[in-house]
A and B are shown apart, each in its own frame.
Chain A
Amino acid sequence: MISITYSLVKDKLVENSKNGVLDKVHATGIGKYSDEEKFEFYKEIFLDELNEKPINPSELRDVVEKIRCDFYSEPNVEENTYINILSFLSTASMNLQAQARSYEPEESYEQEGFYEPEESYEPEESYEPEGFYEPEESYEQEGSHEQEEKSSQMIQTNNKKLDEKEIYVKVMKKLVPFLKYSVLGASVGLGASIIIPSVGVSMLGGIRITYSIGKCANKIWSKKFLKGQPTPIDKVIDLGKEKLKSFAKKSLKDSYEKWALKAKKVSLFLKKREVQWFLNGMAAGYVVGNYYDLNGKIFNNNLRSSLQNNLNSATLSDQNSPISRTVNDPYDLNVERQLKNGPSLTRSNKLLNSESATNIGNQFSTDIEWLKTGENIDLSMVKEGFRDSLNAMTNKNSVGLLTEYATKGNGTFIKAFKLPNGEMFTGSIGDLISQGFDPSEISARVMNQNGDYAWLNVQDILNAYQNTIGKAR
């Protein structure tokens, strides 16, 4: 049974090192430990947290969030921890695969396509050393007797080690093929998070299932058979039992058995461990990618570096201006200069924008009283917007779609952030940076349910919101 493999993994490999590895990881970070220890830790996460239960994107998000919190609470955590997880899993699976091959070279377990798990996995009987040979009482000296006992103990130890290694390799041989799919899925998911960063987890579920049904069944359709047009039934034909029998004689035999088999085929495919590993990995990679994009340090670094040039150029260009010399730079740690200059409200627009954009990554707040996340706003009055380059490739009329959805009052959601200087910012900051927009020019992003989105002027959004509130009252 698979559960035997599962328990073997947990008993032999995870439980023994669980506490120790976890303590070490939490104490000083994952990067300083051996590959074997790291692998135990990650394997535990993937086995226990992801693969034990059916896929549920929301649960998965919680799991990854927990992992994220664990790692980000580490003071010495590596900057690209999540990337390391994926790359390490990939490397570890390859190494273990090679290790297993070298141990039993005559047996090849590499399969083409999906690996068919065996119905049962019963490990060979563990080595049970036979009873010690008890030498008959002899006239030999005691010293030689002790020496013989020592040698038999060594034999026993060696055999025990060999036995553990054998079990380890056997377990790994079962585990590694699945791990490959997990890593593959994680890579795909991570890639998806980069390519389509704006879709939500629910969209991910759609991607998963579309993949699943399309891959395995490709002959069970839940859409496209009507070409998107609901069609009335013209007539219902009741053939009657007798007629139905004759009708069915030609091709429909044992209908329930046949359709049960067809449905079962789909279900079995989805239940296959490698598929689950792949989908789990994909979902994990996707969620990790998104979290990483939103919360990771690279994001902040990219944000700063992308805006550093603007900041520098603004400062240099205003060097001759008497106003700019009295600017109270919040990043200037010189207290005397701060006190001398005093608070200044006159700044160049460019510098103001650059500074506020620099603050986005660290100091944004969602606590805004009169503009809440998820508000439906009638945006019909906003006629023009800026399409982003990614969306423009797939949908040339995203602004029109946006207006249509917004007018109907469904599907439009807005995220609002308030900057320290009081400026309002709506939309996803991560997308703002990933798309390479200049925050000083475009400052609002709105997305509908279909994932079509447009960039709008933030003042237009606020005007539309006030207009909507006015109508509602």
Chain B
Amino acid sequence: MKDKIISLKNGDSYYIIDEIDYLGKKYAYGIPCNLKNESLNEETAIIMELKTEQNQIIVDEIYDDEIALEVLKLFQKKFQEKQE
């Protein structure tokens, strides 16, 4: 998924900046994008959970705030490493 654009069935699209695995689950860091205008909403970032159900990849919200923060920290660490 990394460096790819996912288009959801509800019409939303996200450009996936990166992915990580945490506690056996996969999380993605994406930003909303508009495929028609080929533009990205850089002001907003989304941390989402990716999972599979019935041979489909499902995007879900992270309902546990503590996990969300941990995931965010991991992304930050990864980004900083890449930046360096």
Min distance, Cβ A218 to any Cβ of chain B, angstroms: 9
Q: Do B79 and A256 have beta carbons less than 8 Å apart?
A: yes
B36 at the interface (CB under 8 A from A): no
User: Nearest chain-B residue to A241 (Cβ)?
Assistant: B3
Q: Decide: B61 and A213 in contact? CB cutoff 8 A.
A: no
**How big is the B interface, by class?**
35 or more
Whether the Cβ atoms of A250 and B38 lie closer than 8 Å is yes
Instruction: Please give me the residue from chain B that is nearest to A270 by CB atom.
Output: B69
Please determine whether A264 and B76 come into contact, CB atoms closer than 8 angstroms.
Answer: yes
B contact residues around A219 at 8 Å (CB):
43-45
Whether the Cβ atoms of B8 and A232 lie closer than 8 Å is yes
Compute how far the CA of A247 lies from the CA of B72 in the bound complex, rounded to whole angstroms.
Answer: 26
Minimal beta-carbon separation of A206 from chain B (angstroms): 5
Secondary structure of the B side of the interface?
mixed
Alpha-carbon separation in the docked complex, A459 to B77 (Å) = 54
| A462: min CB distance to chain B, Å | 34
Q: Which residues of A contact B48 (CB under 8 A)?
A: 222, 225
A263 to B82, CA, bound (A): 13
Q: Which of B17, B53, B56, B65 has the most CB of A within 10 A?
A: B65
Within 8 A of A (CB), among B33-47: 35, 38-40, 42-47
How far does the Cβ of A270 sit from chain B's closest Cβ, in whole Å?
8
A105 to B58 alpha-carbon distance, docked (Å): 61
- What residues of A have a CB within 8 angstroms of the CB of B43 in the complex? 219
Interface string of A212-250 (1 = CB under 8 A from B): 110001011111111011111111111100001001101
Mark B54-69 against chain A: 1 for CB-CB distance below 8 A, else 0: 0011111111111011
A228 to B62, CA, bound (A): 10
A234 interface neighbour in B8, B17, B39, B42, Cβ under 8 Å: B8
| Range class of the A interface residue count | 35 or more
Q: Is the CB of B45 within 8 A of A259?
A: yes
Identify which of B35, B53, B73, B82 contacts A260 (C-beta below 8 A).
B82
Are B72 and A266 neighbours in the complex by a CB distance under 8 Å?
Answer: yes
Q: Is the pair B82, A206 in contact by a Cβ cutoff of 8 Å?
A: no
Q: Is there an interface contact between B72 and A220, defined as CB atoms closer than 8 Å?
A: yes
A260 contacts across to B, CB distance below 8 A:
76, 79-80, 82-83
Is residue A255 contacting chain B, with contact meaning CB distance below 8 A?
yes
Encoded as 1 (CB less than 8 Å from any A CB) or 0, chain B from 1 to 30 comes to 101111111101001011000000000010
CA A205 – CA B73 in complex, angstroms?
16
Q: When A and B form their complex, which 6 residue pairs have the shortest distance between CB atoms, in order from nearest?
A: A260-B79, A263-B76, A222-B68, A223-B61, A230-B60, A209-B65
**New A-B contacts (6) at CB < 8 Å, excluding given A223-B61, A233-B56:** A209-B65, A213-B68, A213-B72, A223-B68, A230-B58, A235-B6
Q: List 18 A-B contacts (CB under 8 A).
A: A209-B65, A220-B44, A220-B46, A222-B71, A223-B68, A225-B12, A226-B60, A228-B61, A230-B58, A232-B8, A235-B7, A236-B7, A239-B4, A244-B3, A251-B42, A256-B82, A260-B76, A260-B80
